Amino acid sequence: MKSNLKIRNVCCIGAGYVGGPTMAVFADKCPNIKFVVVDKNKDRINGWNSENAKSLPVFEPGLEKIIRKTRGENLFFTSDLQQSISNADMVFISVNTPTKEKGLGAGQASDIKWVEVSAREIAKNAKGFTIVVEKSTMPVRTAETIKDILSAAEINSYKTKSFSVLSNPEFLAEGTAINDLENPDRVLIGGDDKDSIDLLSSLYANWVNPEKIIKTNLWSSELSKLAANAFLAQRISSINSIGALCELTGANISEVAHAIGADTRIGNKFLNAGPGFGGSCFRKDLLNLAYLSRHFGLPEVANYWESVIDLNNWQRDRISKVVVEKLFGTVSGKVISIFGFSFKANTNDTRDSPSIKVVQDLLEEGALLYIHDPKVTASQIEEVLKIKQNCFTDKDFIQKTENAYWQYSKSVRESLINSDAAIFLTDWEDYKNIDWNSLSKLMRVPAWIFDCRAILSRESIVEAKLNYWRLGDGSNI
C-alpha cells in the first residue's frame, strides 16, 4: 500500500447496536474525518436521522448527545451503499452474524452470509486502495473469505483496486457502550499489513493511550474476540452454579462472590449471579467456538464450552420451577408481575433475554402475566413472544379460554395490583428503591417476591409481610 495514505472518508456497513454507537464515537473523536454509516434497512436509517431522540434505533446512555453533536457535521447515515463504499478509504463491516438456522452447522456455526455480501459490495464498488475492517464478531479465519473475494476483484480490475483486511473486534457491552468506546480496556487490531494497522491505530490514538492498542496477526485477533466472550460467559455460568449450591447449603452467593473476587487472580467483576446470561453475543459466540473446535478435531474442547451454555439453559429453566413450587404447585390463573424484559439493565435489547424463557414457561403453566420494563415497548414484547397482549382484568372471560395471557404494564404500581407474585429479572435501577410498605397492600396475599438479581432489600420486603426468595441465597433454609 501507499504509506502516504491518509484516512479522510470512512464507511461502516451496518447501523446496528455496534455500527451506530462505534461510528458516533469515532466521529466525535476524529472531527477531521467523515464517517458514513450505511444500512440496507431504511427504517433504521430514518431512525438514526430522526430529530426525535426516542426514534434513535439504539438506546445507550450518552449516545444521543454525541449524535446531536456530530450528525450532519462529520457523521452521516444513509442507505446508499455503493456511493458510500466508493468514497471510502476505510470500510468497517458491522453487519450481524447470527447463529445459522439451517444447512451445514445449523444451530451452532455463525452465519457469515451478510459479511460475504458486504465483501462483494466492497469488491465491486471500492476505488483505489481500501482498508477493510472486520468489526463484527466473526468465526476464526473469516478474513480468509473476505480476502479471497477482494483478491479476485484486485485481479479483475488490473490492480486499479487493492485492499488490506484487518480485524478490529468490538468489545462494547450494551448499556455502557459509549463509556466502553471512550475508555476501552484495550483496542485490538489484527492484520498482516503494518501500514494499514498503523493507520487504523492512528484513528484510535486520537483518544486511546497507544499502550492500550494491541497489535496481533489476523487469526489471533478473530479468536481473541470469541475467547473473551467465552471466558466472560463461563464466569457467569460458574457463579450461577455456585449460587444454586448456596441455596441448598445456607451460603449466600453475594458473600461467596465477594470472598472469591477479593483474590486478585480471580478479580471481583462479572461475578453477579442472575437468571443466566443473555444478549446477542455470548450464546452465539460459545456455539461458534464449540463448532470450530469440533471442526478442527477437538471434541473435548467443544464439549467444555458447550457445558457453559447447558448450565445457562438450566439456570433459566429452574426459575419458573421455583416460582411454581412456592405458589403451592400451580400458577394457573394467578397474576404474576414480570419486572424487566431486556437482557440486562440500561438497554432496550431483548435478544436472548432470560426473561423470554421465564415468561414462556409461566404462560405455559397458565399464569396471567403483567410485564414491565422501563425501556422495552409492548410491541417489542409482542414481536419476541409472538403472542399479542390481552387485557386480563375480565377474569370471567379468562376462565373460558385456554389462551396465554400477558399485559403490558406502565408502572411498578400498576403491575402489583392483585398480583400473587413479582419476579425481578433485570437489574434496572428503577426497581431498587420500591416502597414495599405501601405497594405490598396492592398484592393478593400470601404474595411472593422473587429477586433473581439480588437487587431488592430483604428487610423492607419482609417488613411489608411479603414472602421473599433471592437467587443464590440460602440464608433462610
Angstrom distance (rounded) from CA 268 to CA 48 = 37
Cis peptide bond prior to 61, omega within 30° of 0: no
Place of cell 458516533: 24
Helical ranges in 157-269 per DSSP H: 177-182, 194-204, 218-249, 253-261
Compute the least distance from the CB of residue 92 to ligand UDX, in Å: 10
The verdict on 13 binding ligand UDX (CB under 6 A) reads: yes
What are the cell numbers at 50?
A: 430522526
Q: Which of 10, 17, 48, 373 binds ligand UDX (CB under 6 A)?
A: 17
Distance CA 171, CA 181 (A): 8
Joined grid coordinates for residue 46: 430514518
Q: Please confirm, yes or no, whether 281 is among the known catalytic residues.
A: yes
Instruction: Tell me whether residue 254 or residue 415 sits nearer to ligand UDX (CB atom).
Output: 254
Does 167 contact ligand UDX by CB under 6 A? no
Closest CA to 252 of 474, 452, 462: 474
Cα distance between residue 207 and residue 366, in whole Å: 54
Among positions 337-356, residues that touch ligand UDX (CB under 6 A) are 343-344
259, three cell numbers: 470472598
How does DSSP classify residue 110?
A: B
Which is closer to ligand UDX, CB of 164 or CB of 353? 353
136: contact with ligand UDX by CB under 6 A: yes
Site for ligand UDX contains 229 (CB under 6 A): yes
Torsion angle of the four alpha carbons 11, 16, 20, 23, in this order, in degrees rounded to the nearest 10: -40
What is the number of other CB atoms lying within 10 angstroms of the CB of residue 296? 11
Q: The cell 474442547 sits on which residue? A: 301
Rounded least distance, CB 156 to ligand UDX, Å: 22
Q: Is 391 a catalytic residue?
A: no
Quote the least distance from Cβ 369 to ligand UDX, whole Å. 20
Residue of this chain nearest to ligand UDX (CB atom): 16
Contact between 159 and 240 under an 8 Å Cβ cutoff? The reply is: no
Distance in Å, CB of 115 to ligand UDX, minimum: 8
225 is catalytic: yes
* Least distance to ligand UDX, CB of residue 393, Å: 32
Strand locations in 387-453, DSSP E?
405-408, 421-424, 448-451
Task: Considering only the stretches 25-33, 35-43, 299-307, 329-337, report the one whose residues sit in contact with ligand UDX under the rule CB under 6 A.
Answer: 35-43
Residue 315 makes contact with ligand UDX by CB under 6 A? no
**Cell 400477558, residue located:** 406
Which is catalytic among the residues 170, 174, 222, 365? 170
For position 26 contacting ligand UDX by CB under 6 A, the verdict is no
Contacts with ligand UDX, 272-301, as mask; x by CB under 6 A: x-x--xxxxxx-------------------
For position 41 contacting ligand UDX by CB under 6 A, the verdict is: yes
User: 180 with 171: CB under 8 angstroms?
Assistant: yes
| Other beta carbons less than 10 A from residue 102's beta carbon | 8
Q: How far apart are CA 75 and CA 66, in angstroms?
A: 10
Which one of the spans 113-121, 260-268, 388-396, 433-441 is the region binding ligand UDX (CB under 6 A)?
A: 113-121
Closer by beta carbon to ligand UDX, 136 or else 419: 136
Q: Is 141 helix (H, G, I), strand (E, B) or coil?
A: coil
Determine which one of 11, 12, 246, 281 is catalytic: 281
Structural contact between residues 347 and 180, judged by C-beta atoms closer than 8 angstroms: no
Choose, by CB under 6 A, the member of 236, 336, 466, 471 that binds ligand UDX: 236
Identified binder of ligand UDX from the candidate list 10, 11, 12, 15, rule CB under 6 A: 15
16 is an interface residue for ligand UDX by CB under 6 A: yes
No. of H helices and E strands in the chain? Answer: 18, 14
**Among residues 114, 204, 406, 436, which is the contact residue for ligand UDX, using CB under 6 A?**
114
Give dist(CA 471, CA 246) in Å, integer: 9
Catalytic-role residue among 225, 334, 344, 357: 225
The alpha-carbon radius of gyration of the chain (Å, integer) is 24
DSSP-H helix ranges across 50-93: 63-70, 81-87
Q: Which is nearer to ligand UDX, 173 or 398 (CB)?
A: 173
95 in contact with ligand UDX (CB under 6 A): yes
Taking CB under 6 A as the rule, does residue 36 contact ligand UDX?
no
Q: Which of 50, 78, 171, 182 binds ligand UDX (CB under 6 A)?
A: 171
Stretch that binds ligand UDX, among 160-168, 172-180, 258-266, 371-379 (CB under 6 A): 172-180
Three-class DSSP category at 336: strand
Candidates 33-41, 306-314, 415-423, 428-436; binding stretch for ligand UDX (CB under 6 A): 33-41
Number of residues that bind ligand UDX (CB under 6 A): 40
Task: Catalogue the active-site residues.
Answer: 170, 225, 281
Q: Report the interface residues with ligand UDX, using CB under 6 A.
A: 13-19, 39-41, 44, 94-97, 114, 117-118, 136-137, 170-174, 229, 232, 236, 270-272, 274, 277-282, 343-344
